[in-house]
Amino acid sequence: MKLGQMRWRFWLGAIALLGWMSMTGWAEAGNSTNEKLKVYFIDVEGGQATLFVTPASQSLLIDTGWGGNEGRDADRIAAAVKGAGLMRIDYVLITHFHEDHVGGAAQLLDRVPVGAFIDHGVNREEEPSVERGYAAYEKLIATSRTKRILAKTNDVLPIVGIKAQVVSADGKVIQKPLEGGGAANPYCKGAETPEVDTTENARSVGVHITFGKVKLLDLGDLTKDKEMELVCPANKLGKVDIYIVSHHGWNHSSSAAMVDALGARVAIMNNGAKKGGSPSVLDTVLNAPGMESLWQLHYSEEGGEDHNTDDALIANLNGQENGNFLELTVASNGSFDVLNSRTGETKHYVAARESIH
Ligand SMILES: [Zn+2]
| Alpha carbon of 42 to ligand 1 centroid (Å) | 14
Give 164-233 as a DSSP string. Answer: EEEEEETTEE-SSPPTT--EE-GGGTT---PPPP-SGGGG--EEEEEETTEEEEE-TT--HHHHHHHHSS
Please state, in angstroms and as integers, the Cα–Cα distance from residue 155 to each residue in 63, 163, 184, 261, following that order.
18, 10, 24, 23
For residue 6, the model assigns a pLDDT of 54
Minimum mean pLDDT among 22-31, 144-153, 229-238: which range?
A: 22-31
Q: What are the residues facing 330 on neighbouring strands?
A: 37, 336
Cis link prior to 194 (omega < 30° from 0)? Answer: no
Closest CA to 237 of 156, 167, 188: 167
Looking at the predicted structure, is the pLDDT value of residue 265 above 80? Answer: yes
Closest CA to 160 of 240, 77, 230, 56: 56
| Alpha carbon of 263 to ligand 1 centroid (Å) | 24
Domain 35-356 is found in CATH 3.60.15.10 = yes
- For the segment 134-144, the average pLDDT, to the nearest whole number, is 98
SS3 148: strand
For residue 352, the model assigns a pLDDT of 84
* Residue 220 falls in which region: left (phi positive, over 0), alpha (psi -120 to 50) or beta: left
For residue 175, the model assigns a pLDDT of 98
Q: Between 16 and 133, name the one with better pLDDT.
A: 133
For residue 42, the model assigns a pLDDT of 98
- For the segment 247-266, the average pLDDT, to the nearest whole number, is 98
- For the segment 124-134, the average pLDDT, to the nearest whole number, is 97
| Alpha carbon of 129 to ligand 1 centroid (Å) | 14
What's 69's DSSP letter? G
309-333: pLDDT as tens digits: 999 999 999 988 889 999 999 998 9
| Alpha carbon of 192 to ligand 1 centroid (Å) | 23
Average pLDDT taken over every residue of the chain: 92
- For the segment 262-273, the average pLDDT, to the nearest whole number, is 98
Looking at the predicted structure, is the pLDDT value of residue 219 above 80? Answer: yes
- For the segment 18-36, the average pLDDT, to the nearest whole number, is 49
| Alpha carbon of 346 to ligand 1 centroid (Å) | 27
Spatial separation of the C-alpha atoms in residues 128 and 191, rounded to whole Å: 34
| Alpha carbon of 281 to ligand 1 centroid (Å) | 15
SS3 60: strand
For residue 11, the model assigns a pLDDT of 57
Residue ranges per structural domain of the chain:
35-356
